[in-house]
């Protein structure tokens, strides 16, 4: 019998991280979570930093746990994180400072300054990426504007997942899907855009070579192996942008992959999109509708729209726990939302007021209600319900826009991410979008991460082979739309659109 193969998938999110081990039996993958930890930025001297040293410590803890629990041995590790944030290395390969969080205020107002040099549409046509104030291109321009010594001293810029793999292997490289989030990569040529870099006065030499998902980077360095008491592990470039790994890990059968399908990732950030093959869709219409072409596995792209996601609710939860002095579970929040009256208020979760890190999100929501002339329904259940509804409205608009761009309306939508554990939210999505919503796939990021490691090892042929295997490994739930509820959502959506049009 063929020996089982074990791989570590490390997934760093903007609010927390987890590490899992995937065991490949030859017919299926069994995934077990082995380590979980919190990730919150540290506010220091009016700047929000990521505590990279603490995160690397958690990575080592997870590797040690995996090695101890899986006596048969771990073959490889792959790392995915959120997008846009980066660290700078000096000529000695040392980190110049902790990476700054995309929630930091340094990019506020920078869009207008950059647009005086390059229009948003021009940047889109070169990068395929939709403009967001938090994108790396704007962070770097803000850094250049302040004449920061760190940019002048930098020898290499490494995106967050590449920073982790660098300190594991010593290899400074840039994985494709994460590089796309910089808005500085020409997706057609898959090279850094010298045009955009030169127009903005950004140094070209700090950007590393591009590698693709499913590529072996190297092995863990010897002193780390000695410290942890482990044999050398292969380090593989997976879909290093967590969304790319999540899409790769969708459990789509060979039958369903032939139908019009879409995906929704419900996390700190939420994403709705479809997979496209061979070339990104870089058109005027794509730009006008606010869609991006994100990097995926080789020769595949994700046409998608990024939405603020559960960020607002996560911040509300922290505020509620601080006020009440106790832990509030997500089940409590979901239950209180389901019991609250529906459609009393409207929150545009992408409103700029919610972009930056707030010291009190509840106060920010109150300010938003006052600004938009809405009643102050600030009870926890009411706030949670309104945020969930705001997300669903965004998903519905996204599905309509996908049909406009591609000519196909999704029939099946695969739901993943932490929010996919919320059964009521998932049913609302099925009702509002009038689609079959597939749940039961909470570990798609870990699954995609691990599948790409198996592909790098030659154990599976391609991602679709892995997806078919996953579809036979999970107990999936298919939620069909309830027509009475669909009508209610359509009416509420019309009011939502009217609200946005008059802001």
> Which CATH number do you get for residue 467?
3.30.420.40
Asked which of 237, 266, 286 is the last residue of a domain, the reply is: 237
Task: Say if 246 falls within a structural domain.
Answer: no
Inform me whether the pLDDT recorded for 1 exceeds 60: no
Closest C-alpha to 20, from 348, 443, 432: 443
The residue-averaged pLDDT of 334-347 equals: 97
How far apart, in Å, are the Cα atoms of 157 and each of 47, 62, 89, 171, 202? 20, 26, 6, 12, 11
Helix or strand (DSSP H, E) at 466: helix 463-471
Whether 344 and 454 share a structural domain:
no
Inform me whether the pLDDT recorded for 190 exceeds 80: yes
| Total residue length of the chain | 503
Cβ atoms 98, 163 nearer than 8 A:
no
Structural domain of 319 = 311-391+488-501
CB count, 10 Å around CB of 472? 10
Tokens of 51: 């505590």
Name 112's bridge partners. Answer: none
Whether 271 and 216 share a structural domain:
no
Whether 104 and 195 share a structural domain:
yes
Tokens of 115: 């647009």
The one catalytic residue among 234, 242, 348, 431? 242
- pLDDT at residue 2, rounded to an integer: 58
**Residue 223 to residue 232: CA distance in whole angstroms:** 10
pLDDT tens, 390-431?
999 999 999 999 999 999 999 999 999 889 999 999 999 999
Confidence class for position 442, pLDDT limits 50, 70, 90: low
Q: Decide: helix, strand or coil at residue 130.
A: coil
pLDDT tens, 139-163?
999 999 986 788 999 999 999 999 9
Q: Decide: helix, strand or coil at residue 163.
A: helix
Helix or strand (DSSP H, E) at 401: helix 380-406
Whether 219 and 316 share a structural domain:
no
- Alpha carbon dihedral 491, 494, 498, 499, in 10-degree steps, equals 60
The residue-averaged pLDDT of 362-379 equals: 96
Q: Provide the pairing of β-strand 42-44 with 47-49.
A: antiparallel
Helix or strand (DSSP H, E) at 274: strand 270-277
Query: Can you list the alpha helix ranges (DSSP code H) found in 325-360?
Result: 330-339
**Residue 376 to residue 384: CA distance in whole angstroms:** 13
Angle at which helices 463-471 and 444-456 cross, to 10°: 130
**What 8-state DSSP symbol labels residue 173?**
-
Helix or strand (DSSP H, E) at 222: helix 222-228
pTM: 0.86
Average pLDDT of the chain?
94
Task: Say if 437 falls within a structural domain.
Answer: yes
Whether 24 and 68 share a structural domain:
yes
- What is the DSSP secondary-structure string of 292-326? EEEE-STTEEEEEEEE-TTHHHHHHHHHHHHHHTS
Helix or strand (DSSP H, E) at 190: none
pLDDT tens, 374-398?
999 999 999 999 999 999 999 999 9
Whether 384 and 470 share a structural domain:
no
pLDDT tens, 114-133?
999 999 999 999 999 999 89
Give the torsion sign (CA, 127, 132, 134, 140): positive
**Residue 23 to residue 5: CA distance in whole angstroms:** 6
Task: Say if 446 falls within a structural domain.
Answer: yes
Task: Say if 53 falls within a structural domain.
Answer: yes
Task: Say if 260 falls within a structural domain.
Answer: yes
Cα 499 to its chain centre, rounded Å, is 28
pLDDT tens, 229-284?
999 999 999 999 999 999 999 999 988 988 999 999 998 889 999 999 889 999 99
- The larger pLDDT score, comparing residue 284 to residue 1, is at 284
What percentage of the chain carries pLDDT values higher than 70?
Answer: 98
Whether 335 and 302 share a structural domain:
no
- pLDDT at residue 148, rounded to an integer: 74
Inform me whether the pLDDT recorded for 312 exceeds 70: yes
Task: Say if 435 falls within a structural domain.
Answer: yes
Residue 49, φ and ψ in degrees, nearest 5: -110, 150
Closest C-alpha to 237, from 220, 218, 209: 218
Angle at which helices 160-169 and 52-69 cross, to 10°: 60
- The larger pLDDT score, comparing residue 269 to residue 333, is at 333
Whether 303 and 441 share a structural domain:
yes
Closest C-alpha to 314, from 346, 272, 266, 353: 266
Whether 177 and 207 share a structural domain:
yes
CB count, 10 Å around CB of 115? 14
Per the annotation, the verdict on 242 as an active-site residue is yes
**CA-based angle 179:181:187, to the nearest 5?**
65
- The larger pLDDT score, comparing residue 358 to residue 145, is at 145
Cα 154 to its chain centre, rounded Å, is 26
Whether 132 and 31 share a structural domain:
yes
Confidence class for position 206, pLDDT limits 50, 70, 90: very high
Structural domains in the chain (count): 3
Cβ atoms 272, 397 nearer than 8 A:
no
Cα 32 to its chain centre, rounded Å, is 21
- Alpha carbon dihedral 103, 105, 107, 108, in 10-degree steps, equals 120
- pLDDT at residue 284, rounded to an integer: 96
Closest C-alpha to 481, from 439, 438, 434: 434
Per-residue b/e over 363-401, b at no fewer than 16 CB within 10 Å? ebbeebbeebeeeebeebbbbbbbbbbbbbbbbbbbbeb
Cβ atoms 29, 473 nearer than 8 A:
yes
- Longest Cα–Cα distance in the chain: 68
Asked which of 237, 267, 283 is the last residue of a domain, the reply is: 237
Give the torsion sign (CA, 111, 112, 117, 118): positive
Closest C-alpha to 445, from 4, 5, 16, 64: 16
What percentage of the chain carries pLDDT values higher than 90?
Answer: 86
Q: Decide: helix, strand or coil at residue 390.
A: helix
Whether 476 and 494 share a structural domain:
no
Closest C-alpha to 467, from 212, 169, 252, 178: 252
Task: Say if 46 falls within a structural domain.
Answer: yes
Whether 118 and 166 share a structural domain:
yes
Task: Say if 243 falls within a structural domain.
Answer: no
- pLDDT at residue 357, rounded to an integer: 66
- pLDDT at residue 232, rounded to an integer: 97
């Amino acid at each position: 019998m063929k020996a089982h193969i074990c791989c570590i998938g490390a997934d760093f999110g903007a609010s927390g991280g987890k590490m899992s081990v995937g065991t490949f039996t030859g017919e299926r993958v069994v995934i077990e979570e082995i380590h979980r930890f919190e990730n919150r930025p540290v506010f220091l001297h009016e700047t929000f930093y990521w505590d990279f040293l603490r995160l690397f410590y958690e990575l080592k803890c997870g590797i040690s746990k995996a090695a101890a629990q899986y006596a048969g041995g771990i073959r490889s590790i792959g790392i995915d994180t959120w997008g846009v944030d980066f660290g700078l290395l000096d000529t000695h390969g040392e980190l110049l400072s902790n990476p700054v969080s995309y929630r930091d205020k340094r990019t506020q107002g920078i869009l207008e300054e950059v647009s005086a040099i390059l229009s948003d549409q021009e940047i889109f046509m070169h990068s395929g990426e939709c403009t967001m104030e938090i994108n790396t291109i704007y962070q770097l321009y803000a850094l250049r504007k302040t004449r920061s010594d760190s940019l002048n001293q930098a020898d290499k810029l490494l995106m967050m997942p590449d920073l982790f793999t660098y300190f594991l292997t010593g290899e400074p490289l840039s994985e494709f899907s994460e590089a796309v989030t910089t808005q500085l990569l020409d997706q057609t040529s898959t090279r850094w855009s010298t045009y955009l870099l030169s127009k903005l006065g950004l140094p070209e030499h700090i950007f590393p070579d591009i590698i693709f998902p499913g590529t072996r980077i190297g092995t863990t360095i010897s002193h780390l192996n000695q410290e942890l008491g482990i044999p050398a592990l292969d380090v593989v470039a997976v879909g290093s942008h967590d969304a790319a790994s999540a899409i790769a890990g969708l459990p789509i059968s060979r039958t369903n992959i032939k139908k019009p399908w879409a995906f929704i990732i419900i996390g700190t950030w939420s994403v709705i999109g479809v997979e496209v093959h061979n070339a990104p869709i870089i058109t005027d219409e794509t730009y006008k509708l606010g869609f991006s072409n994100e990097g995926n596995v080789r020769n595949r792209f994700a046409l998608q729209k990024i939405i603020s996601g559960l960020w607002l609710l996560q911040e509300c939860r922290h505020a509620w726990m601080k006020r009440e002095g106790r832990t509030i579970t997500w089940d409590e929040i979901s239950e209180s939302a389901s019991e609250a009256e529906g459609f009393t208020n409207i929150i545009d979760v992408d409103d700029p007021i919610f972009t930056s890190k707030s010291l009190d999100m509840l106060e920010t929501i109150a300010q938003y209600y006052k600004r938009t002339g809405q009643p102050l329904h600030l009870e926890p259940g009411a706030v949670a319900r309104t945020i969930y509804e705001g997300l669903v409205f965004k998903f519905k608009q996204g599905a309509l826009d996908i049909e406009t761009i591609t000519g196909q309306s999704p029939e099946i939508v695969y739901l993943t991410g932490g929010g996919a554990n919320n059964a009521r939210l998932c049913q609302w999505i099925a009702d509002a979008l009038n689609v079959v919503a597939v749940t039961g796939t909470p570990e798609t990021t870990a699954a995609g991460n691990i599948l790409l490691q198996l592909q790098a090892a030659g154990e599976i042929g391609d991602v679709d082979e892995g997806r078919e295997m996953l579809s036979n490994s999970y107990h999936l739930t298919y939620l069909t739309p309830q027509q009475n509820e669909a009508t209610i959502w359509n009416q509420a959506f019309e009011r939502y659109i009217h609200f946005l049009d008059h802001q």
